[in-house]
Amino acid sequence: MIAVPLAKKIAELFLILFAAAALVKTGVLKTENSRVLSKLSLYFITPCVIFNSFQKELTAEVGQGLLTAVALAVGFEVLFFLIAAVLRRVWKATEVERASIVFANVGNLVIPLVSFVLGPEWIIYVSAYIFVFNLLFWTMGIRMFDRESKPSLRKILLNPNLVATWAGLLTLFTRLKLPEPVALTFSDVASMIGPLTMMITGMVIGGMTPRGMFANRRVFGVIFFRMILASGLAVLAAVLVARFLPVDRNIVMIVLLGAIAPSASNINQVAILYNRDAGYASAINVLTTLSCIVTIPLWIMLYEAMIG
């Protein structure tokens, strides 16, 4: 069963998170230091991960798998947008709450999990979800916060993660082989993604108090809607796809991992930009991240049990 090694890897990553939080609590580090690491992750390490994932031979199987992953990612996002639209009416969900339900932390947490459980050659299918995420987040996601300005096509296309995707696809389809030192550099940098992202989250947690995290009691509702309701419906959809369609079940599980991940850290950055309760956005990100210690292994265990 994949759920067991998955739980072990999550435990390992969260030990790094708690260690970073302890360093902040003891004054060795400051929460503000996480901004530098966040920029390093966003503009350097994550693009290297994405680009490195495409360094494989293009076969009919890989091409079909990419199309499957993109289609599943779009399907999950449509489902989450529908949930958010309903909650906007019946729960009066705010921009931060709706974005936190729709957009998950697809790359930072899922990439190291997939690499550990299935192997680095499978990360290419995580990149497919990241591609869908970026297109939707920098268009429809931004519109949740800013209805006055039109989405910037230039900003979308020049997002570092998308640039890495375009470059990776170019090498994939042209069968371009990088010189060994260059390829090893991308591979070595990519291996840093898991520990670094958990350190960043840990540093943010270290600077927060329990009272601050739970200041807005609606955060419990967001945790339920993101980690239980939306994730549960995603698992049900994934089971139906895996059982009744001729697709690779591992690819379905990889995309499912992205769908049941915690709320995206990008939401906090956008909330700061548009003055939309960034503190609340941070609390949602931290608490959904902590809750995934339990929810992700349980959902994957249920998925495996239901597909036989």
In this structure, is residue 11 part of a structural domain?
no
In this structure, is residue 238 part of a structural domain?
yes
In this structure, is residue 27 part of a structural domain?
no
In this structure, is residue 101 part of a structural domain?
yes
165-177 residue pLDDT tens: 889 999 999 999 8
In this structure, is residue 152 part of a structural domain?
yes
Based on the structure, what is the number of domains in the chain?
1
In this structure, is residue 124 part of a structural domain?
yes
pLDDT band at 148 (very low <50, low <70, confident <90, very high): low
Q: Tell me the angle at which helices 110-117 and 193-206 cross, rounded to the nearest 10 degrees.
A: 140
Structural domain harbouring 139: 34-191+218-307
Cα 89 to Cα 82, 85, 92, 144: the distances in Å are 11, 7, 5, 15
3-state secondary structure at position 263? strand
185-200 residue pLDDT tens: 999 998 898 899 889 8
- CATH classification of the domain holding 145: 1.20.1530
* CA angle centred on 138, ends 134 and 140, rounded to 5°: 110
In this structure, is residue 2 part of a structural domain?
no
The set of residues, in sequence order, having a beta carbon less than 8 Å from that of 221 and lying 6+ positions away, is: 91, 97
In this structure, is residue 142 part of a structural domain?
yes
183: left (phi over 0), alpha (psi -120 to 50) or beta: alpha
Contact 53, 65 (CB under 8 A): no
Give the max Cα distance, the chain. Answer: 56
